[in-house]
């Protein structure tokens, strides 16, 4: 291991165990009065947040260093660390608070005074909204198990009057045509310590691709780039836009790889749709070397306006600010449209009740107390088990084919947001997790995902060309999930959704299992006339027969079945699945390219 790699590993290791500010903990232990306890709890939470945020910000720099050192295990470990560090810090604080203040559960007056002491500690900070969200997370965890409405949206969370911080830099500006040398400052923007394979050649290739494919390329007058590097898994990305005289800006992404002989450009991503796929919530979040997350999220939204603003925060790792932004957006859009939440488009779920509004960009779900009669899997494992599966998907690299989830706990929505029919169904069928409190519905849990068109609904509406693209992308979705060690034992096409750019995603997770735990079997080795029960019938666990995949997916059209077999026939074979299981068990991670092959400078390489 190189010295650089050892330094990264040491840096990552120091982040794994949250610590509590010793002075604040000692003050709480010594507190002799209610006032002193309140003061000490506020200081303790502030100290915990300060420790968390310092370590959170360190991770972006370590991710850049991991890219430069080609230390891919460290890169993956840093992603996992960042996902868990917030919750781990909160979970470290809560037992300390309950040990010294055992009577504070449900005491609103106590927490109101803690908040009053806490707010001056975070006043003036850029990240005051994140610090305030942290306080509410601690409070929610202290109240865990109680029917207590929690705060996810507050006017105190962000001072909108503060001056914006610049996160965009103009790298090139001229009256003449774009030249290869103009791309050199674009490619070197992140300031890598690692050498380039051939910087001049890459600059020429990127310029040629832009001039060939970008709309209005002959009228490019400037290039603006986010003043940061974006890091994920083995790759690094530079993101910006081409400013076109007399035309709309063209979003630009440059995908970089670091091979043994140096850094090089792998792909040039032009246009909002392709860039949106790279930044999709179906992939792991990016590490971004900029602390100004509000301005960065706004810039990304300008580049990808079809992707909800709230999800731009989650894309760059600020999941808790993203949760606040999403719930605010839902409230704002419902108020502006006057629409009410009703059953989501598509078949009713057997495990979850899904709901949305026509113009809303999200679908919300609550898990039923008990599944409907259509449930296929024997004894229902319970709501907690299903929520754990949704949480697991949030915490893994979703391989470009699984929707991320925003999960809220103890959140209240006004009852008049809902149609009467939907409200009655929720209270009747999810009453162990939803109650009506005055003019609101209090959800113990609420799952929110970006809205997709359910696969069967899409296929009914699609023309022939669209259907053929979607059926191929369905197979790619299944293959990508397998590469992430995810197997959806309910392979019914109703569990998949189609995006505006015809990508297909799995969005129901109550039936997911580890692929490595699935028993892949076949009936194709049986002779005609054999009427005995196959041996696998008596095995316990999840049994999968690949030759029955098409039947499960409900692909009825013969032409579409032919296209599916031509593009993904390997999914119908036992060898494909057992080979994938073997590779996963050996710790191999199949490479997944988060952009179209056509975007690459050297496709097929």
How is residue 383 written in tokens? 């709501």
Burial code of 141-170, b = ≥16 C-beta within 10 A, e = fewer? bbbeeeebebbbbeeebbeeeeeeeebbee
What are the angstrom distances between the C-alpha of 314 and each of 252, 325, 404, 465? 20, 10, 9, 33
Cα–Cα nearest to 285, from 396, 402, 451: 396
Question: Is residue 266 flagged as an active site residue?
Answer: no
Integer Cα distance of 377 and 514 in angstroms? 16
Pairing of strands 504-506, 453-454: unpaired
Q: What share of the chain is helix, strand, coil (3-state, %, to 5)?
A: 50, 20, 35
Residue of 404, 490, 508, 510 with catalytic role: 404
Integer Cα distance of 510 and 539 in angstroms? 22
Query: Cα Rg for the chain, rounded, in angstroms?
Result: 26
Looking up tokens 């290791």 gives 13
CA angle 581–583–586, rounded 5-degree value: 110
Integer Cα distance of 433 and 408 in angstroms? 12
How is residue 226 written in tokens? 């986010």
* Under 8 Å between Cβ of 303 and 272: yes
CB half-sphere exposure, 272, CA atoms < 13 A: 12
Integer Cα distance of 363 and 446 in angstroms? 10
Catalytic residues: 404
């Amino acid at each position: 291991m190189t010295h650089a790699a050892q330094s990264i590993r040491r840096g990552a290791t120091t982040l794994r165990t949250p610590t509590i500010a010793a002075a604040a903990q000692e003050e709480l232990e010594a507190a002799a009065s209610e006032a002193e306890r309140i003061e000490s709890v506020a200081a303790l939470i502030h100290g915990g947040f300060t420790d968390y945020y310092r370590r959170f910000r360190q991770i972006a720099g370590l991710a850049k260093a991991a890219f430069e050192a080609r230390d891919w295990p460290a890169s993956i470990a840093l992603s996992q660390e960042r996902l868990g560090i917030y919750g781990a810090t909160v979970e470290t604080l809560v037992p300390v608070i309950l040990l010294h203040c055992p009577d504070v559960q449900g005491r609103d007056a106590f927490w109101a005074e803690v908040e009053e002491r806490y707010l001056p500690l975070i006043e003036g900070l850029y990240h005051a909204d994140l610090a305030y969200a942290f306080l509410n997370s601690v409070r929610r965890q202290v109240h865990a198990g109680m029917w207590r409405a929690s705060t996810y949206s507050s006017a105190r969370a962000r001072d909108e009057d503060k001056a914006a911080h610049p996160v965009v830099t103009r790298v090139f500006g001229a009256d003449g045509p774009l030249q290869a040398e103009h791309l050199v400052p674009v490619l070197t923007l992140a300031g890598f310590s690692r050498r380039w394979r051939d910087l001049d050649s890459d600059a020429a290739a990127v310029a040629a691709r832009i001039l060939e494919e970008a709309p209005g390329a002959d009228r490019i007058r400037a290039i603006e780039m986010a003043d940061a590097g974006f890091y994920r898994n083995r790759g690094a990305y530079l993101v910006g836009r081409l400013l076109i005289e007399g035309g709309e800006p063209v979003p630009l992404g440059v995908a970089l790889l670091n091979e043994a002989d140096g850094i090089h450009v792998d792909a040039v991503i032009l246009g909002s749709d392709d860039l949106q796929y790279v930044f999709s919530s179906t992939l792991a979040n990016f590490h971004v070397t900029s602390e100004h997350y509000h301005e960065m999220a706004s810039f990304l939204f300008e580049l990808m306006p079809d992707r909800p603003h709230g999800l731009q925060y989650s894309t760059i790792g600020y999941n808790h600010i993203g949760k606040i932004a999403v719930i605010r957006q839902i409230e704002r859009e419902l108020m502006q449209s006057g629409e009410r939440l009703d059953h989501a488009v598509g078949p009713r779920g057997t495990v979850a009740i899904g709901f949305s509004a026509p113009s809303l960009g999200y679908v919300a779900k609550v898990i039923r107390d008990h599944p409907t009669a259509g449930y296929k899997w024997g004894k229902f494992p319970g709501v907690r088990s299903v929520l754990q599966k949704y949480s697991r998907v949030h915490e893994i690299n979703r391989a470009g084919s699984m929707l991320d989830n925003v999960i809220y706990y103890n959140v209240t929505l006004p009852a008049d947001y809902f149609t009467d029919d939907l409200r009655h169904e929720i209270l009747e069928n999810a009453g162990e997790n939803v109650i009506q409190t005055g003019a609101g519905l209090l959800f113990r849990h609420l799952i929110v995902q970006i809205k997709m068109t359910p696969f069967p609904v899409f296929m009914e509406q699609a023309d022939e060309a669209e259907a053929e693209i979607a059926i191929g992308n369905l197979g790619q979705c299944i293959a990508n999930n397998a590469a992430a060690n995810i197997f959806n034992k309910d392979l019914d096409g109703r569990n998949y959704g189609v995006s505006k750019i015809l990508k297909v995603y799995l969005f129901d997770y109550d039936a997911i299992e580890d692929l490595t735990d699935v028993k892949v079997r076949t009936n194709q080795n049986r002779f005609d006339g054999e009427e005995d029960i196959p041996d696998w019938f008596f095995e316990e666990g999840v049994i999968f027969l690949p030759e029955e995949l098409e039947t499960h997916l409900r692909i009825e059209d013969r032409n579409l079945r032919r296209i599916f077999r031509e593009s993904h026939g390997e999914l119908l074979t036992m060898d494909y699945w057992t080979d994938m299981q073997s590779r996963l068990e050996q710790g191999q991670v199949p490479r997944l390219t988060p952009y179209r092959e056509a975007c690459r400078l050297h496709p097929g390489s």
